[in-house]
A and B are shown apart, each in its own frame.
Chain A
């Protein structure tokens, strides 16, 4: 009878059942969406951190920033041959370790030897600033005759002004040059599983073999290869050294920080940084013990800065971080509020539906139905309402989450400078590029996990139970004498 009665009630009071179910569905859908988007945010943040660190990297060790010695590392210095004839093309590369700060290679072994460290790999980051162009010498002319301007380029005319005196004039001198900077990272070819290349996927060609420690070979990022039209087999020069492209790599997410990867030894030679590294990538034996390992390293190896992914996460800013905090705070409260409202509405509607059925339940009691049977009927009805609401809510929420994934709104993440801001006096290479290097664009997805679905089902059951408890309580309080009420 329970089943038949339940079926008939829900079948013949579809509208009321649907209103309750829809209310619950809305709340549940919102919870699913917010949960999924939050999960997507977390994934995006993880991606950001991983792109910076590499899979499996728990922390990095860099040299603690020190104030620069005055004048010693000022702006970049380029040397051009001033004696060459007019219109000659010249090129000059300036290679500098990133941040101008490096650690001794021997520290890699020392870090690897610390308690809780599973492995450590060193890498050397270099900033290469290439200036090339043509320089035109000014020409000396006698004063006789009409004076003409030598150059129409509008560029510097150091001696170009004409004077009425009879002295010889220098006209038409100028320079036309491009400044191009890019980043080169020297990687430990023997341990590519950890470190900067671990976040990259080789899409064309191949990566270094562990024997290629001194090879003049390079893996370039896809974006840089596109910009320079490099292909596997192309050659280019850094500071006069010729490199062959052996592979093109795409980062797992976002844009690559690094344009060119070369073997560590080669990079050290290029940057005049023999036995030096800029960053040591560390993998801890236990990911739960990261802060302890950080303490260990900081205590035992002075002059270093240890940055964990947690430290980095706090420096992530930009729309990703805004959206992330929005999803976790506003989204969470919004879904709680909507859910609470949905529960309340369901409870009130169920309760009022029970009140309208006073005579019906009174009659059943008069017929000798025990209170628990009547209550069970009411709770059963609202449980089914809850489950219908849950199913609708799951459909709606999963739909919304898929829509978010399909649209995949782009979020940007700015990674703050973890080494103490600009206090150390960065290289003059190009502040604009430096900033863009730390900005990642991540497509947001909203993965729906089984846990979320389970949560939704749990909420549906809870909603049904709350509404049922409210209605059931009312029904249980009805007296059999209510059957005789004259209200229709």
Chain B
């Protein structure tokens, strides 16, 4: 479980100090899904960095299962990232010189997994995202959607507790976007992950049970409820080993999601409160 308390992040650029996050309080239960939305420069990515242990807050604490990521040593933080946190990036961030399988293996390197087991697990992870035939392909030989699948396999091969995604569909066309979202939602459910995703895409945001909107460093949380969307996602997950089928299922989903949407239950968190 994540518990963020009074998280403030200031960057100093020359003489100017920019406050990217201002006293954010946030709780994310295990297995929860949270979508973070907001204008560019509002602090979305900064919040994701805090949650992922990629950076430390200037003030406040970021607790994951009682461990404050803001206080532990760099070594421990690195170890924690390696073990518990899987990350997916907008630009996929694959190592261009490594094959798909080797890229997935990089996630197991810091865990000290033996090479043979590493290869086997990487191949298995790639098969689970539908890329069993592309193990030896370099990223440049794969389409954007395939590259993001490799990145998803890399994030999940270590069986993390948390999956973070930074605009995972930002560089993909609409059809591929739906494929990837179906896959992610399926995996989220299958693995019982705590899933935090930053997105610009309001159609994706609408599907999330919980939406955090960040503007000027302050957070607003919206509970959207809606378990039925994930019934569909579960179906997609069941087919996740056959991505083409999964894609066919999810293609019509946005409309369904829109129809099934429930009224917003707005609730002010963090930024609205003093501390």
Question: How far apart are the CA atoms of A54 and B87 in the complex, in Å?
Answer: 80
Partner of B54, one of A5, A11, A366, A488: A366
Asked if A9 is at the interface of the complex by the 8 Å CB criterion, the answer is yes
Question: How far apart are the CA atoms of A363 and B111 in the complex, in Å?
Answer: 16
Residues of chain B with a CB closer than 8 A to A360's CB: 93, 95-96
Closest to A12 in B: B97
Question: How far apart are the CA atoms of A232 and B185 in the complex, in Å?
Answer: 106
Closest to A4 in B: B102
The 9 closest A-B pairs by CB, nearest first: A368-B82, A8-B97, A368-B81, A368-B110, A363-B93, A480-B54, A12-B97, A481-B54, A481-B55
Determine if B54 and A483 form an interchain contact, defined as CB atoms under 8 angstroms apart.
Answer: yes
Interface residue stretch chosen among B44-52, B187-195, B203-211, B228-236: B44-52
B45-76 contacts to A, CB under 8 A, are: 45, 48-49, 52-55, 75
Question: How far apart are the CA atoms of A320 and B96 in the complex, in Å?
Answer: 56
Interface residues in A, total, Cβ within 8 A: 27
Determine if B54 and A368 form an interchain contact, defined as CB atoms under 8 angstroms apart.
Answer: no
Partner of B109, one of A13, A359, A369: A369
Residues of chain B with a CB closer than 8 A to A370's CB: 75, 78, 110
A346-375 contacts to B, CB under 8 A, are: 359-360, 363-371, 373
Most buried by B among A4, A5, A365, A484: A484
Partner of A484, one of B45, B75, B111: B45
Question: How far apart are the CA atoms of A9 and B102 in the complex, in Å?
Answer: 12
Partner of B95, one of A5, A373, A481, A488: A5
Per DSSP, are chain A's interface residues mostly helix, strand or loop, or mixed?
A: helix
Partner of B81, one of A4, A371, A373, A480: A480
Q: Assuming A5-B95, A360-B95, A367-B107, what are 11 further A-B pairs, CB within 8 angstroms?
A: A1-B115, A5-B102, A12-B96, A12-B97, A359-B93, A360-B96, A366-B54, A366-B87, A368-B85, A368-B111, A479-B54
Residues of chain B with a CB closer than 8 A to A363's CB: 89, 93, 95
Asked if A486 is at the interface of the complex by the 8 Å CB criterion, the answer is yes
Asked if B253 is at the interface of the complex by the 8 Å CB criterion, the answer is no
Determine if B102 and A8 form an interchain contact, defined as CB atoms under 8 angstroms apart.
Answer: yes
Question: How far apart are the CA atoms of A368 and B112 in the complex, in Å?
Answer: 11
Residues of chain B with a CB closer than 8 A to A369's CB: 78, 82, 106, 109-110
Determine if A484 and B48 form an interchain contact, defined as CB atoms under 8 angstroms apart.
Answer: yes
Asked if B166 is at the interface of the complex by the 8 Å CB criterion, the answer is yes
Question: How far apart are the CA atoms of A185 and B65 in the complex, in Å?
Answer: 102
Partner of B93, one of A1, A8, A12, A483: A483
Q: A359-B91, A479-B55 are in contact. Are A368 and B96 (CB under 8 A)?
A: no
Residues of chain B with a CB closer than 8 A to A368's CB: 78-83, 85, 107, 110-111
Most buried by B among A9, A11, A364, A481: A481
Question: How far apart are the CA atoms of A372 and B54 in the complex, in Å?
Answer: 17
Q: List 29 A-B contacts (CB under 8 A).
A: A1-B106, A4-B98, A9-B97, A12-B96, A12-B97, A12-B138, A359-B93, A360-B93, A364-B95, A365-B78, A367-B82, A367-B87, A368-B81, A368-B82, A368-B110, A369-B82, A369-B110, A370-B78, A373-B110, A480-B52, A480-B78, A480-B81, A481-B54, A483-B87, A484-B45, A484-B49, A484-B89, A484-B166, A486-B91
Residues of chain A with a CB closer than 8 A to B107's CB: 367-368
Closest to B138 in A: A12
Residues of chain B with a CB closer than 8 A to A12's CB: 96-97, 138
Question: How far apart are the CA atoms of A50 and B118 in the complex, in Å?
Answer: 68
Residues of chain A with a CB closer than 8 A to B105's CB: 1
Residues of chain B with a CB closer than 8 A to A484's CB: 45, 48-49, 54, 89, 166
Determine if B79 and A8 form an interchain contact, defined as CB atoms under 8 angstroms apart.
Answer: no
Residues of chain A with a CB closer than 8 A to B83's CB: 368
Closest to B108 in A: A1
Residues of chain A with a CB closer than 8 A to B45's CB: 484
Most buried by A among B53, B75, B90, B91: B91
Interface string of A225-250 (1 = CB under 8 A from B): 00000000000000000000000000
Asked if B154 is at the interface of the complex by the 8 Å CB criterion, the answer is yes
Closest to A10 in B: B97
* Interchain nearest-CB distance for A254 vs B (Å): 59
Question: How far apart are the CA atoms of A488 and B80 in the complex, in Å?
Answer: 27
B118-149 contacts to A, CB under 8 A, are: 118, 138
Determine if B48 and A1 form an interchain contact, defined as CB atoms under 8 angstroms apart.
Answer: no
Question: How far apart are the CA atoms of A72 and B63 in the complex, in Å?
Answer: 113
Residues of chain A with a CB closer than 8 A to B54's CB: 366, 479-481, 483-484
* Interchain nearest-CB distance for A368 vs B (Å): 2
Determine if B93 and A481 form an interchain contact, defined as CB atoms under 8 angstroms apart.
Answer: no
Question: How far apart are the CA atoms of A207 and B80 in the complex, in Å?
Answer: 88
Question: How far apart are the CA atoms of A363 and B80 in the complex, in Å?
Answer: 15
Determine if A364 and B87 form an interchain contact, defined as CB atoms under 8 angstroms apart.
Answer: no
Residues of chain A with a CB closer than 8 A to B98's CB: 4-5, 8
Question: How far apart are the CA atoms of A11 and B105 in the complex, in Å?
Answer: 19
Residues of chain A with a CB closer than 8 A to B99's CB: 8
Question: How far apart are the CA atoms of A1 and B93 in the complex, in Å?
Answer: 18
A141-166 contacts to B, CB under 8 A, are: none
Question: How far apart are the CA atoms of A325 and B171 in the complex, in Å?
Answer: 65
Question: How far apart are the CA atoms of A8 and B97 in the complex, in Å?
Answer: 6
Residues of chain A with a CB closer than 8 A to B110's CB: 367-370, 373
Residues of chain A with a CB closer than 8 A to B154's CB: 367
* Interchain nearest-CB distance for A477 vs B (Å): 12
Most buried by B among A5, A368, A484: A368
